[in-house]
Structure 1
Amino acid sequence: MTTKIPVTVLTGFLGSGKTTLLNRILTENHGQRIAVIENEFGEIGVDQDLVINADEEIFEMNNGCICCTVRGDLIRILGSLARRKDRFDRIVLETTGMADPGPVAQTFFVDDEIRDEFYLDGIITLVDARHVTQHLDDSEEAQAQIAFADRIVLNKIDLVDPSTQRSLNNRLLGLNRMAEIIPAEMAAVALDKVLDVGGFDLNRALETNPAFLEPEYPFEWGGIYDLEPGSYRLELSQGPDPEMSAILVPLPDKNESGEKDLQVIAETIFRYFSQAAKSLQDGEHMSPGTTLWELQLEQQTEFSFPVDIAAAGYYALFTQHTPEEFSASLKDSAGQTVKTAAEHFFNAGHIHDDTVSSIAFEFSGSLDAEKLNAWMSVLLQTQGTDLFRMKGILSIDGDDRRVVFQGVHMLLDSQPGAPWNNEPRNNRLVFIGRNLNRDYLQGGLKQCMV
C-alpha cells in the first residue's frame, strides 16, 4: 500500500503572519524534509525570498488565488512532486492572503490522482489580531479562511489589549466553533499544533458549503452533441466579455451521452482549460481535440467559427460562459441548430472584489533610505487604510545586504537579508490594496532613487 504524503495548508488574510510561521516550521529541528508551495497574488513573486534558511524546494504559483485558474498549477506541481516523493516527508502550501482555501481543499477530494498520492492533513488559518476586523465585514475570502480552518492562530496578540482579544475570540468562534484558537506573538506556536493535525474535517466543510465537493471550474457550461460527419459552425453574438474560451472534445465511448458523463470528464477538461489558449478570430476553424480556443469577439456583433467533423460520434463542448450570455449555438450545414443530447451548468469560479489589486515593481539600482522613509510616511498617512499589504526585497544605498521589507496597513518592518556579494542589485516590491494608483506609486519610488 502506497503511503500518502501529508499536506498542510497555511492560509490567512494579507499580512497575518503566514510566511513567519512557515519560516518557523522550516527552521525548527523536527527532522522532516519539507517541500514548500507558494501561491502569490501579483505580477511578480517575492515570497520565495522571504522564506529564510530553507534548503527545501520552493515552488511558486503567481498571479491569482488558488481557485479555478491557479488550481491547474497546483495539480501540475503536486503531480511532479508525486514522482519524487522519496525526497520529502510532507508538503506545506502557503496560499495568498486573497485566497478562499475551499478550492485548495477540494483538489484533494475530487482529483483521483492527487487523492491517491496525498492527503490534506489540515488547514491552519492565521489571523492578524490588530487588523482582522477591518476585513471580516467586507471580505468573503477572510471569512472563508476562518470557516474552513482546523486550527486558528490568533497572531499578533501583543498588539491588542486583553479585551480586544476576548472579543476577537468570540467573533472567530461565531464563524468556526470547531477549530481550536491558538494565541501567538510573531507566529510562535508549537509545531504539534499545526502539523499532524490528523486530517481535514470534510463534514464541517460540507456544513459550511454543501456544494463543497463540486469544484469551481473555469467553465460554466458543458453540452454533449451526437454528430454525423460534416461541416458545422459555432455561432455567437457579442456578450459581457470580448472573448470566450471553448473546447470541443470527441468522447471515446459512443454510449457517453448523459449529464453525468459531463461531470465525470469535467476534471480532464479542467486540465485543458488550465493550459494556454490559442486565439481564434471570426471565420477561423475550431477543430475538435484537446486544444483550448480563445474566441475573439470584438469589432462586430455576430461571429461564426467553422467546425469540421470527420467521424460520427458524441462530442462534448465546454464553454467559459453559458451559451445564453452570447446567444451561442452549434449549427449544421443547413443552418439548423443542433440540439444537445445532454448539458450541465457548472459551479463557476468565484468573483473577486474588483477594487482590490496587486501592483508590482521590479527595477535595478539603489534607494536612498531617508527619501524612502519620508515617502513611505506620507503614503501611509494618506493611503494606509487602503494598503492591505506591502512586501519586497530592497537595495538600499550604503547597505551591502538585501533589506527585507514588509508592511500591513500602517505598520512597517524591515530586516537585513542575505548579502548582495557580486550579484546585481535590484528591487522588487508588491503593493496589495484597494484603489491603488500605479503611476503614483511608481513616481514616488522613482523619486527615492539615488
Structure 2
Amino acid sequence: MALIPTTILTGFLGSGKTTLLKRILQEPHGHKIAVIENEFGEESIDNDILIQDSKEQIVEMNNGCICCTVRGDLIMALTELSQKRNSGLLDFDHVIIETTGLANPGPVAQTFFMDEEVAVHYLLDSIITVVDAKHGMQQLDAYEEAQRQVGFADRLLLSKTDLVDEPQANALKERLKRINPRASVHAAHFGEMPIAEILDIRGFNLNEKLHIDPEFLADEEAEHVHHDCSEHCDHHDHDHSDHSSQHTDGISAFAFKSTRPFDVNRLDEFLGYLVQVYGPNMLRYKGVLFMDGGERKVVFQGVHQMMGTDIGAKWEKNETRESKMVFIGKDLPKSIFISGLEQCLV
C-alpha cells in the first residue's frame, strides 16, 4: 500500500496557519484530508472553526505540544489513523499536522524516521511555514522559535502582505532567503494558495527530484565561495550577508559544492562526527553527492541527529558530476564543515 503523504504546517503565533488550513479543507480539490492539530488548554477553538462544512477527520491533542513534550501522542495519533484507514473506518489520502505557534518542527519531522510504525505508513511530504509579513521581522528578531520554523521550511508562505508596502515585503523576503535559501517564498493572501503548491510537493524528500534547486547556491556563489580552490584559501568565513541587513539571525544556511568526488569512507566518518557533535543545532541538511567510483547519484538528507542516504538516478553521459550540499542550522561553524568536507574529497 502506498505511503500516506503528510504535511507539517507551522508558523509563529498569529501568522495565519488556521486561516490557511480552513481554506484547504473547504476548497473542492478532491483530496480527503485528515488533520492532526495541537492546542494548549482543554477547549479547542480551532476545532469549531475547522469542523464547519468539512467532512475531514480531525484528531486533537489538547495536553501539550506535539513537537516536544507529547511527541508520543503524535505517534499514537498517526498509528490510530492508519489503523482506522486500513480497517475502512476512515477514508483519507493525506495528513496535515498543524503545530502550535511556538513549536520547533524538528522533532515532529524526526518522528517520521524514528518510529517504525509511522515510517511504514507515512511519507513526510513537506514542511510549510506561514510567516506574518506585518510582524515577521520583529518575531524573527525576538524569538528563536520563529527562526527555526523558517529554517525547517520546504516552502514559505507570506500572510498579511496587504498590511505592508513593497519595500517591507521585499526586505522580509530577503531575510527569509538568507535564513533558508532552499525554500521558495510565496504570498498567501487570507490563505489563498493553489492546493498543488501545498500538498504532494515532495519538498522534504529529495528522491522525487534527485537534484538541488539552483537557487540553493545563488547566495554562496555571490559571495565568491568556490570550494575547489587551494586548501590555503581562507575566504570561506567571510559573511557578506551581514552587510546587506542590520539583522543577525542565529539560524543561517550555507552550501558546499565540488566537482571532485568524495571518498566514501572519509565522508561517512566525517558526517558521523558532524551529527554527533553538532546534530542538535543542525536543523535541515540535504544534497546530492558525487561518490568516487559511483555511477549513480547519492541522495543525502537529515534532521538533527537523524541522517540518511539513498541511491539516486544514474549520472547522465554529458552531465557534470558534482556534489551539492546545503546545511541550515543554529550557529554552525561553517569553516569546520567546509574544510572537513574538502578533506573528504579524492
Q: Which residue of 2 aligns with 1:42?
A: 41
**For the Cα contact (< 8 Å) 1:151–1:181, is it kept in 2?**
yes
1:31 aligns with 2:30: yes
Q: Which residue of 2 aligns with 1:115?
A: 119
Which is higher, the Rg of structure 1 or of structure 2?
1
Question: What is the letter of the counterpart of residue 115 of structure 1?
Answer: A
Q: Deviations over 1:116-153 (max 9, x none)?
A: 11010001100010111221122111111100101100
Q: Deviations over 1:289-325 (max 9, x none)?
A: xxxxxxxxxxxxxxxxxxxxxxxxxxxxxxxxxxxxx
| TM-score, normalising length: structure 2 | 0.58
Residues 140-155 of structure 1 mapped to structure 2, 5 A cutoff:
140-155=144-159
**For the Cα contact (< 8 Å) 1:40–1:96, is it kept in 2?**
yes
1:126 aligns with 2:146: no
Residues 256-275 of structure 1 mapped to structure 2, 5 A cutoff:
none
Rounded Cα–Cα distance in structure 2 between residues aligned with 1:143 and 1:61: 25
SS at match of 1:122: strand
1:163 aligns with 2:197: no
**Alignment match of 1:179 (pick from 165, 179, 183):** 183
Rounded Cα–Cα distance in structure 2 between residues aligned with 1:152 and 1:83: 32
Residues 7-86 of structure 1 mapped to structure 2, 5 A cutoff:
7-51=6-50, 52-86=52-86
SS at match of 1:93: strand
**For the Cα contact (< 8 Å) 1:106–1:215, is it kept in 2?**
no
Q: Which residue of 2 aligns with 1:135?
A: 139
Rounded Cα–Cα distance in structure 2 between residues aligned with 1:128 and 1:90: 26
**For the Cα contact (< 8 Å) 2:67–2:99, is it kept in 1?**
no
Rounded Cα–Cα distance in structure 1 between residues aligned with 2:85 and 2:194: 26
**For the Cα contact (< 8 Å) 1:157–1:183, is it kept in 2?**
yes
Residues 51-450 of structure 1 mapped to structure 2, 5 A cutoff:
51=50, 52-86=52-86, 87-201=91-205, 210=275
Rounded Cα–Cα distance in structure 2 between residues aligned with 1:174 and 1:211: 26
| TM-score, normalising length: structure 1 | 0.45
Question: What is the letter of the counterpart of residue 193 of structure 1?
Answer: E
CA positional deviation for 1:175:
0.8
Rounded Cα–Cα distance in structure 2 between residues aligned with 1:212 and 1:13: 29
Rounded Cα–Cα distance in structure 2 between residues aligned with 1:112 and 1:148: 22
Q: Which residue of 2 aligns with 1:373?
A: none
Q: Which residue of 2 aligns with 1:315?
A: none
Larger CA deviation: 140-149 vs 129-138: 129-138
Rounded Cα–Cα distance in structure 1 between residues aligned with 2:197 and 2:56: 21
Rounded Cα–Cα distance in structure 2 between residues aligned with 1:191 and 1:109: 26
CA positional deviation for 1:211:
6.4
SS at match of 1:84: helix
Question: What is the letter of the counterpart of residue 195 of structure 2?
Answer: L
Question: What is the letter of the counterpart of residue 168 of structure 1?
Answer: L
Higher strand proportion: 1
Task: Give the number of aligned pairs.
Answer: 215
SS at match of 2:110: helix
C-alpha change, 1:194 and 1:83, in structure 2 (3 Å) is same
List gaps (5 residues or longer) in structure 1: 217-262, 264-450
Q: Deviations over 1:130-179 (max 9, x none)?
A: 11122112211111110010110011100000010010000101110010
**For the Cα contact (< 8 Å) 2:6–2:123, is it kept in 1?**
yes
C-alpha change, 1:17 and 1:148, in structure 2 (3 Å) is same
**For the Cα contact (< 8 Å) 2:125–2:205, is it kept in 1?**
no
Question: What is the letter of the counterpart of residue 12 of structure 2?
Answer: F
Question: What is the letter of the counterpart of residue 68 of structure 2?
Answer: C
**For the Cα contact (< 8 Å) 1:119–1:199, is it kept in 2?**
no
Aligned structure 1 segments of 4 or more residues deviating by more than 6 angstroms: 202-205, 211-216
SS at match of 2:54: coil
Question: What is the letter of the counterpart of residue 61 of structure 2?
Answer: M
SS at match of 1:170: helix
Question: What is the letter of the counterpart of residue 69 of structure 1?
Answer: T
**For the Cα contact (< 8 Å) 1:11–1:97, is it kept in 2?**
yes
Rounded Cα–Cα distance in structure 1 between residues aligned with 2:74 and 2:276: 21
Rounded Cα–Cα distance in structure 2 between residues aligned with 1:184 and 1:166: 15
CA positional deviation for 1:57:
1.1
CA positional deviation for 1:41:
2.9
User: % of aligned pairs identical?
Assistant: 52
Q: Deviations over 1:199-241 (max 9, x none)?
A: 4158999x8994699799xxxxxxxxxxxxxxxxxxxxxxxxx
CA positional deviation for 1:184:
2.2
SS at match of 1:88: coil
